[in-house]
Amino acid sequence: MTDTVMRRKRVLAASVGNFIDFFEFGLYGIFTTAIALNFFPVEGKASLLLTFAGFAVSFVFRPLGAVVFGHFGDRLGRRGALAVTIVGISVATFVIGVLPATGSIGIAAPVVLVIARVVQGFCTGGEFGGATTVMIEGAPDGRRAFYGSWQNATQLFATVASTGIGMILAVSMPTTALNDWGWRIPFLLTLPLGLVGLYLRLRLSEAEEFTRAAEHPERAPLGVVLRQHWRSVLKIIAMIVVGTSVTYLQAGFFPAYLVREAGVPQSLVYAGMLVGSLVGAIGILVCGRLADRIGRQKPFLVAGPIAQGALAIPVYLLAVRGDPVSVICGYLLLNLGLSINCGVISCAIAESFPARVRYTGISLGYTVAVSVFGGATPLILTGLVAASGTPMAIPVYVLAASVVSLLGALSYPETGWRNRRSAQRDSTVEAAM
């Protein structure tokens, strides 16, 4: 087996867990009404509020999962930790799909649903950091950004898949059948997909970079990260703020807001998400490849927040106009802005930590940013619109998030492969003198 084939299998094995996680996230948002009817059959808005609470609870447990899986991933190996995370994510999602409704088993139904979401959130906390570590450590020199870009591109490919399946089911089934049992079908697909991912991950070999670091493992990786690399953690959180805010604006806030407040047809919202996410995923891969050629900081990490801030108001105005061209253009611009720094962010945060604590460092910074800013974005935006009395609070929030990420990017040192090679040559020269 050639090195190229082995590396592609590493990328596939690493990204499949992230795909399942965002696939379920998309399904939960698309089928919110069906989930509410099945598990929270109460009157009024309380049903949807309880359903969203069941979704949000997983974010609370992500940082805990980051600490636990990061500890074992840095001490004992990436392969074992990632095997557990993909099993937890896929089984929890499958359980949601087969779980009897409240009308059949009573209060046990919503309780089990929340438990499944907790398990999923806990395992997701260790998924991104471990998968990103595997991708970056197994990448050839000069292609780290491109390999890492698959992690973020996978998230948008998962959004495309969940949205596409949701649209197909919605147009091919009566609403009553869809809300009764049809919504469960895509949730069931995650188990066989997870088994394939588990098989691939169990066949992974540890990268040489980690093998060398594992000869002298840290007893407490979290302590090392907090003592020696806390600045890197803060920079990562700052750099991720705008990307995670825009991601959850698109998938968690816009679908309900545009339909209820702006009168945009549901099918048009999904069409915009489908086209925008597909173009965004491709854009992420393109930016990752370019970053390996021209460097990562100013061209992408800095340009990304600037683009997202500049596009915030145009994207909002296009989306709320409600006609097909405007809505799709709005989603296209939103995802193109997102793709600029998402193509390089995985590599950038991975190179912020040494191999001996990389899993923990990535997981901690990423999950804190996503849990605090990403998962809370729909709630924050709803509160801002209500408090300010103007929907323009939505793009203003994105603009503020882009300023935070810009400051984080400006403080990030360029770690491109040419810089590393130059540093290695300088070290060699100094050693010979």
**What pLDDT digit, counting tens, does each position of 33-59 carry?**
889 889 988 776 677 677 777 777 888
pLDDT at 153 exceeding the cut of 90: yes
Q: What is the Cα–Cα distance from 308 to 32, expressed in whole angstroms? A: 28
| 92 within a domain of the structure (yes/no) | yes
Cβ neighbours of residue 69 under 8 Å, at least 6 residues apart? Answer: 81, 84, 85, 123, 125, 126, 127, 129, 130, 359, 363
Q: How many distinct structural domains can be found in the chain?
A: 1
Average pLDDT score over residue span 7-25: 87
| 426 within a domain of the structure (yes/no) | no
Cα 294 from chain centre: 25
| 424 within a domain of the structure (yes/no) | no
Task: Retrieve residue 90's tokens.
Answer: 């896929």
Sort 212 into a burial class: Cβ within 10 Å, 0-12 / 13-18 / 19+: exposed
Give tens-digit pLDDT for 324-371: 999 999 999 999 999 999 999 999 999 999 999 999 999 999 999 998
Write out the residue range of the structural domain in which residue 112 sits.
Answer: 3-417
pLDDT of residue 339: 94
| 423 within a domain of the structure (yes/no) | no
Q: What is the Cα–Cα distance from 377 to 53, expressed in whole angstroms? A: 14
What's the pTM value of the predicted model, to 2 decimals? 0.88
pLDDT at 311 exceeding the cut of 90: yes
Give tens-digit pLDDT for 169-204: 988 999 899 999 999 999 999 999 999 999 989 988
Q: Locate tokens 């806990």: which residue?
A: 122
CB atoms within 10 A of CB 427: 10
Give tens-digit pLDDT for 90-148: 999 999 999 999 999 999 999 999 999 999 999 999 999 999 999 998 888 888 899 99
Q: What is the CATH number of the domain that holds 250?
A: 1.20.1250.20
| 339 within a domain of the structure (yes/no) | yes
| 329 within a domain of the structure (yes/no) | yes
| 55 within a domain of the structure (yes/no) | yes
Task: Retrieve residue 31's tokens.
Answer: 């089928």
